[in-house]
Structure 1
Amino acid sequence: MQDIDPAALVAALGDAVMVCDATGAITYWNAACERMFGYTAAEAMGRSMDIIIPERLRGRHWEGYHQTMASGVTKYGSDVLRVPAVDKQGKKMSIAFTVALLYAPDGKVNAIASVIREETNRFNEDQALRKRVAELEAKLSNK
């Protein structure tokens, strides 16, 4: 079995991988992040995740982020979280992601890694289907 370089693996993944430190500053941004969000790694590194979070959701995001950093607990290690996001041009998108907590030698969480997939088309299809079902149910209930 050949040795696999984990850094090369993460860099080559089709899913976006982002790592942020305890303050929420971006410390890792793979090529898939560049394609998805439009920022180069050089543009994203050291910046806040606010570059991809819609302004109206930032307060709620940071509340959960700081709580996770303090508690060392998240349900999104296995549960997928689906949320709106924005790219460099301000285009709205839907993303789905899971996170992994990364620990310092003292055992405290010092970073969070996210594996992100863009799901805008799936989200739009789901919305259209729900709308159609609601219309059909309304027709049936009016008969």
Structure 2
Amino acid sequence: MTAGGFTPERIAALLLHALPDAVVVSDAGGVIRFWNAGAERIFGFTPGEATGRSLDIIIPDRQRARHWSAFARTMETGESRYGAGDLLSVPALRKDGSRISVQFSMIPMPGPDGGLEGVIAVLRDVTAEFEERKRLRAAR
């Protein structure tokens, strides 16, 4: 039972729009369908600039083949190693072309026909932590 304004719908809406992490939803073809304020803060693209474009806008060239191979496998099987709370750490691109390090988990989105309609990814910028670990390893 929920009290006052603590409804699942209100909580979900607040999370989607106010979460400081990026929430990026893409369809089965890898086209961005939702881009929250956290994604704008992390990657630099406004929702209007990102929505309708390929995920390639945030995937560095060197990682694209591996990304799209794993993406296609997830779309075919409905399963991902990163859907059960496991985090994947990868490089990503910002609008200005700079590289950052992100960690993300994803949630497959089943469609009405039982196949996957797309995926929801929750991404966090971990560049500062990654650089600190690299600095500490180099100091040993």
Q: Distance in 1 between matches of 2:76 and 2:13?
A: 27
1:117 is aligned to 124
Residues 65-80 of structure 1 correspond to what in structure 2 (within 5 A)? 65-77=71-83, 78-80=85-87
Shift of 1:90: 0.3
- Count of residue pairs brought into register by the alignment: 133
Residues 1-143 of structure 1 correspond to what in structure 2 (within 5 A)? 1=3, 2=5, 3=7, 4-5=9-10, 6-77=12-83, 78-133=85-140
- RMSD over aligned CA atoms reads 0.9
Query: Matched residues, percent identical?
Result: 44
Shift of 1:105: 1.5
SS of the residue corresponding to residue 19 of structure 1 reads strand
Q: Distance in 1 between matches of 2:31 and 2:13?
A: 20
Where does structure 2 lack aligned partners over 5 or more consecutive residues? none
Paired amino acid for 2:48: A
Q: Distance in 1 between matches of 2:47 and 2:25?
A: 12
Q: Distance in 1 between matches of 2:15 and 2:66?
A: 32
Shift of 1:128: 1.0
TM-score normalised per structure 2: 0.91
Paired amino acid for 2:66: R
Q: Distance in 2 between matches of 1:93 and 1:105?
A: 36
Q: Distance in 2 between matches of 1:104 and 1:44?
A: 23
Q: Distance in 1 between matches of 2:13 and 2:34?
A: 11
Shift of 1:7: 2.6
TM-score normalised per structure 1: 0.90
Shift of 1:18: 0.3
Paired amino acid for 1:43: E
Paired amino acid for 1:28: F
Q: Distance in 2 between matches of 1:39 and 1:9?
A: 19
Choose 1 or 2 for highest CA Rg: 1
